[in-house]
Structure 1
């Protein structure tokens, strides 16, 4: 089933309205539905909806509208298809590796209340991120619809009107029905260009990608189709890396941003070292009251908290902009000579990467050097014409990315051979089922 803001026909496909079942008191008066009402008006006049101007304000309105869609869509798919084993939810700019997904779902009983996804938190609500895709079993849907009545719908819609996000509210509603999220791996919130190719994920099966463009979809589809012709049904991130990423890596690549972000050195004057690094600052807790201590130590582990309270201080991690001028000077003096000069040229930037054992790639543009400890592919970056003040006589600003190819090879060698996807998934699911039964 395909859903959009309004009901329509597209070729051989019927497009369902994702908002049809929202109460009229919200649909025709609430400010979140301003964009929706404009769409309805244009459709009623027979206008081409693709010509509707999407201003920045309209885009914000469309985002506000999005949170209302999750519950009605969930209800609609169940009423239309009440007997299917699994309900798989996927957004229009996402891509799903179906053979891997079906292998995963085969390990979970649809007659048990499963809500599977990539776990995120909003306050105390654990929810499956909608853009990455999520899976709800038939039993979970039945449990939800046992409490799907007028009284609950009124409460839920009021909460949605005051809330931020549809996937968060859906998780809270499922929890009321006794259905809580179980996390599954392989669901990723960005495209392949953003993915961090590191040793920890190398042998995991890929399930989904988000924010994919037509080029990404075509590349993934061609990759999967070729595998199927070789009678290979499943794949892991390592396979994607070999075919779709590694061929595009090089010692240097001009007009390219490989999205190196771990350590950032900028500026030709003043104190501008490593904006991305978190600096440790000795911070006293002895003068704090109990509430202040609890807030300050919130992100520490139990042992770190106990040590901080015993010794009266802890090492607080702070970004560059949060440091005082004297603290910035101390941090600057701790940098190596290469780090201090990394922004001055491509050669020095590359040397700084070579000097840092963890660095596997770098990015350079005038007065800016970025280093990164995992492999990212990145994307083409057009040379900007002229200077920022509009002087077109100046040379275009060019960017260069590069990878430490020997370290990339070392990464591949360290990983070795991966387990088969069915074996990997079976072990993972068995561990989760054990936790679920406890």
Structure 2
């Protein structure tokens, strides 16, 4: 799973942290999720999705339309399950893949021309669907950037500009999506709307806090409860000055001059169902099982951790100190698990790294002896870096002032790399938010 594992696993606590991470990421694989939650009847005529059934005899065509970092794995698993019952489709991914449906490669975390071309192809295929079409929609984390279909009058460059500003602002994923949904023809229920009278089944791998389907990839198949007014509030809250085309569109939307995204009361959603196959708890529970198999007590700090990464790092320090001193919240030896998605507010200049690395470095500055912390993004790419995250302990930081300086420059990756603390896994094939494992062994 992780490169140079033998170097990182320098103690039983370090080894356990790595084992917990690997188990969590493996449990969140799309293929595992499909095997767990989808099945085909013995005669091959009925598809069961988490208890909802679909008679394939009622459909002339089955299409696969979706996108996101884990959408390729879902599409592959659907192919293995349904075989030639799938008549076509397209997915937009962040890397090439060998599938029986069309594969378009887009940009992430900032959309590019491939994102636009892929999203427009999905919409084209969706518009061809009718009441005798079953659309299976694998929608996963990363889809907000990969499925970019700017509305008329908004260019890709303008969409990229506002996306970059949102990413640097420290805005949460749902705040970013409120803006992106109102600049897109596919997000915020746009794909479901384009499918017309077809039956649409959203198959979701969640990378968002709370696993809200409307937030995953900006909810292409899900009703949108956010409004143009919400999008305007986000831009104002973070002091973002968007390109004129976006600014004017949102203003017109607030005034009622632009149609809102389809809301929860829209009749079109009577033909749409959405299923979260994998979420943050999936990875956490698998990690918990490994810890308990190694006779460690476990506690969940939260699967919804959010806010500034550095502050969350200090929280993990406090939990380690309390556990070592009092046996609360976990007895020794124990493992404290957390998920969610922290953010980093970037300054004018910044270096390498991502939220998981920044969290780990802040923790390492004060982490007590007897504690080990692993912090990764489950997709294998933390922020814009090629590292999944980091594994740290009290020995990681030799010069606290140097480490604090790296944090001030948002350059945690460079510092942790120099200390041999970065974890590299490559693309994992899934994306269910961040996963952190705190081992306290005394």
TM-score norm. by structure 1 comes to 0.28
If the length of structure 2 is used for normalisation, what is the TM-score?
A: 0.28
